[in-house]
Amino acid sequence: MRSSLTFSPILLFLLRSFKYPRRLCSQPDDTSNYHQNPGAENRNSRDFQQIPNEVNVDGARRCREQYFSYSNEIHSRMVTSQVVKDFTEASQSIQNNGILEELDGFIKEGKVKEAVEVLGVLEKQCIAVDLPGLLNLMQACGEAKGLEEAKAVHEHIVRATNPLNVSTYNKILKTYSQCGSMDDAFNVFNNMEQRNLTSWDTMITGLAKNDLREDAVDCFSRFKRT
Ligand SMILES: *[C@@H]1O[C@H](CO)[C@@H](O)[C@H](O)[C@H]1NC(C)=O
Ligand SMILES: *[C@@H]1O[C@H](CO)[C@@H](O)[C@H](O)[C@H]1NC(C)=O
């Protein structure tokens, strides 16, 4: 027998004593009454009346108490969350320092492939490597003749530093020349806003060393006309 008249006060009571606190009280204990009557909300009023009133009142009281202890807990969590945040940041920075040291190690050992991989990880995590560090890696790429790695580091330098100055450009020119790619060196050289004697010298020497003697002579002539 479903009558809305008998149904609604009980429903209201149940909503007060179970439904509302149920969302606030997260411990299993709070909801034990509710779970003992699964699907209670969908049953008819006869079923509701079988729930001992005492239990409901007790449940409601307990949930109210739990609600207050819950709000206290939220407060203490807010306090501890700052501690947790500080701790997380500290351990994050230790971790970052670890990655940066790893990068240094790879550069010193001339493991440029690994170093570039680490650089990619750092960039994804928005951890900046300073320009001297990037230029060290660029130099290592030149010594290891790792053209692909040099290109990756070059792109990284362009993303991280803008505009580049003559000294930085000159180091990039030297690396490409050491890697045997004068095409890449020329791409950079031709787009330099400013060049000095070192820039020209790096290009001419690079062409000669890469057995591009005629190009070296042409470049020298071009230099004399400047
Ligand atoms: C170029 O930039 C590097 C790194 O920022 C700096 O150390 C160097 O002094 C600069 N050189 C010039 C000529 O500005
Ligand atoms: C070219 O410029 C760089 C950066 O300012 C400098 O280190 C280098 O000595 C200069 N070279 C010459 C020959 O002036």
Measure 195 CA to ligand 2 centroid, in angstroms.
Answer: 9
Residue 80: its pLDDT value, please? 73
List pLDDT tens digits, range 23-71: 333 444 444 444 444 444 444 444 444 444 555 556 666 656 666 676 6
List pLDDT tens digits, range 60-115: 666 566 666 766 776 676 667 787 788 888 888 888 888 999 999 999 999 999 99
Report the C-alpha gap between 152 and 118 in whole angstroms. 12
C-beta 196 within 6 A of ligand 2 = yes
- Taking the CA of 135 as reference, the closest ligand is 1
For residue 15, pLDDT over 80 is answered with no
Residue 87: its pLDDT value, please? 80
List pLDDT tens digits, range 143-196: 999 999 999 999 999 999 989 999 999 999 999 999 999 999 999 999 999 999
Measure 168 CA to ligand 1 centroid, in angstroms.
Answer: 7
Report the C-alpha gap between 63 and 67 in whole angstroms. 6
Residue 70: its pLDDT value, please? 64
C-beta 167 within 6 A of ligand 1 = yes
* pTM > 0.95: no
Residue 66: its pLDDT value, please? 67
Q: Which residue has the higher pLDDT, 128 or 3?
A: 128
C-beta 96 within 6 A of ligand 1 = no
Measure 192 CA to ligand 1 centroid, in angstroms.
Answer: 15
Residue 107: its pLDDT value, please? 97
Question: What HEC string does the chain produce?
Answer: CCCHHHHHHHHHHHHHHHHHHHHHCCCHHHHHHHHHCCCHHHCCHHHHHCCCHHHHHHHHHHHHHHHHHHHHHHHHHHHHHHHHHHHHHHHHHHHHHHHHHHHHHHHHHCCHHHHHHHHHHHHHCCCCCCHHHHHHHHHHHHHHCCHHHHHHHHHHHHHHCCCCCHHHHHHHHHHHHHCCCHHHHHHHHHCCCCCCHHHHHHHHHHHHHCCCHHHHHHHHHHHHHC
Which atom belonging to ligand 1 lies closest to the Cα atom of 161? 5
Residue 88: its pLDDT value, please? 81
Residue with CA closest to ligand 1 atom 2: 165
Measure 167 CA to ligand 2 centroid, in angstroms.
Answer: 6
Residue 27: its pLDDT value, please? 43
Residue with CA closest to ligand 2 atom 7: 167
Which atom belonging to ligand 1 lies closest to the Cα atom of 135? 4
Q: Which residue has the higher pLDDT, 39 or 122?
A: 122
Please compute the mean of the pLDDT values over residues 212-216 and round it to a whole number: 97
Q: What is the mean pLDDT of the chain?
A: 79
Report the C-alpha gap between 102 and 119 in whole angstroms. 10
C-beta 165 within 6 A of ligand 1 = yes
Residue with CA closest to ligand 1 atom 7: 132
For residue 129, pLDDT over 90 is answered with yes
- Name, of 2-11, 33-42, 54-63, 130-139, the range with top average pLDDT: 130-139
